[in-house]
A and B are shown apart, each in its own frame.
Chain A
């Protein structure tokens, strides 16, 4: 696991965008897994800027959304598909047909999940999966207790997650209790994973995920088993890490070698 600690959220967003850009340069037909939430907002803004100002093209990219609320279609302004589209997809040059989204209003959600898994397989798998981490340690909506081998499915959300999601909803409206999510097993099959975490309220869960036991109580901890994960943290999110000094030192050495 490569752990990159940067000063603040702005730097985190720029660093993450740089990483996506590098992968895109090596692979113009990148299969990119997209997450929702406030953490990737800055990254998405930066990617949009790179597209607009520097001509970074996403024409051949295929995207896959990580999560959706059950009962919400991608057109619903409160849906996660809408969030990703508004913040990123509709501002880039990705053809509509290359944007693969989970539909929370699918007539048969179970079948929809299986269809989505097939879609990923047919595309040749996800090359780069972007992830945030919830305060309960989830990746996607793989809440505590999720199977570490799970596939795309419907998941009842943790109380804490519902509460955290509520801030994205108008006052008086509570966030949905169920979501559709890529499974832990599905996520692990991505060739490369980029996990982002920012701010002090993530510090404790970040240290559990990176330095704690591999456990279904913190599904992000499974990333310890993945061969190619980069974690980008701001200082605040890194503040509880036991080996923080080593990560900083190692990153400095890599930079010196021009990696």
Chain B
């Protein structure tokens, strides 16, 4: 595991975007896995800028995402697909048929999960997964106590978590469950960039990096991944014990 510490959120976001850019430069038809996670929006904005300036092309890149709410189709403004499209994907010069997102409005969510795993298998798996760490150490919607051997499936959401999310606070109804790739699905990505920014994720990243392997912190599974880079800002490192072992990168 390579742990990199950047001074702040801005520099970290740019750094991650450059890492992604480098991967696309090396492989134009990169299969890119995304997390619909707030902390990654600044990074996605940088990628849009790279694309607009023609520094890289997303023309052949294939996109995948980790999770979606059951019952929330891509047209629903509260869906992850809508978030990803409206804030990121629609601003890229990409081919629509190269975007593979879980459909929250699928009539049979369980088969949608199986179909998604099959798509991943068919294309040969994800080359690079950009994974935002959740506040409780989860990756995707693999909340605490998720099997570390799980594949894409339906996960019942913890109502307390949704409350914290805030996205649904103004609405009378909220999703009960989500479709999410499993921990084993994420582990199958050839390369992982795990991102934790801000003090709110400091405890979670400390448990994931320096704690035991446990399904209570599903990101801890990346301790077993052969090619995982962890990008943190300084605020996220306050609970880490082995700071000397990690690399500090000063903003350029």
A contact set with B: CB distance below 8 Å: 1, 3, 210-215, 221, 224-229, 242-243, 246-247, 249-250, 253-254
Contacts and interface: CB of A to CB of B under 8 A. Distances in A.
A255 to B, nearest CB: 11
B158 A227 contact: no
Contacts of A227: 147, 149-151, 182, 184
B159 interface: yes
A239 B138 CA distance: 24
Contacts of B212: 212-215
Contacts of A1: 145-147, 215
A224 B215 contact: yes
Instruction: Please indicate which of the listed interface residues B159, B182, B215 has the most CB atoms of chain A within 10 Å of its own CB.
Output: B215
B149 A211 contact: no
B148 interface: yes
A254 B156 contact: yes
Given A225-B149, A253-B176, A243 B214 contact: no
A246 B158 contact: yes
B18 to A, nearest CB: 34
Interface residues of B, number: 21
B216 A250 contact: no
Given A214-B214, A215-B212, A225 B144 contact: no
Given A225-B147, A243-B145, A249-B156, 4 more contacts: A214-B213, A214-B214, A225-B148, A250-B156
Please classify the interface of chain B as helix (H, G, I), strand (E, B), loop, or mixed, using the class held by over half of its residues.
loop
8 contacts: A1-B215, A211-B215, A214-B213, A214-B215, A229-B147, A243-B144, A243-B145, A253-B176
Interface string B162-196: 00000000000000110000101000000000000
Given A224-B214, A250-B156, A253-B176, A211 B145 contact: yes
Contacts of A212: 212, 214, 216
B143 to A, nearest CB: 8
Nearest to A210: B145
Nearest to A214: B213
A211 B211 CA distance: 13
Given A227-B184, A249-B156, A3 B145 contact: yes
Interface in B113-157: 144-151, 156
Contacts of A246: 145, 158
Interface in B204-224: 211-216
Contact of B147 (A215, A226, A247, A249): A226
A225 B149 CA distance: 5
B213 A213 contact: yes
A211 B148 contact: no
Give 10 closest A-B pairs by Cβ, nearest first.
A213-B212, A250-B156, A227-B149, A224-B215, A214-B213, A225-B148, A213-B214, A253-B156, A225-B149, A1-B147
B206 to A, nearest CB: 14
Given A215-B212, A250-B156, A226 B144 contact: no
A243 B150 CA distance: 19
A226 B146 CA distance: 10
A212 B213 CA distance: 9
Nearest to B211: A213
Given A227-B150, A227-B184, A253-B176, A247 B213 contact: no
Nearest to A2: B147
Contact of B216 (A211, A215, A254): A211
Contacts of B214: 211-214, 221, 224
B225 to A, nearest CB: 14
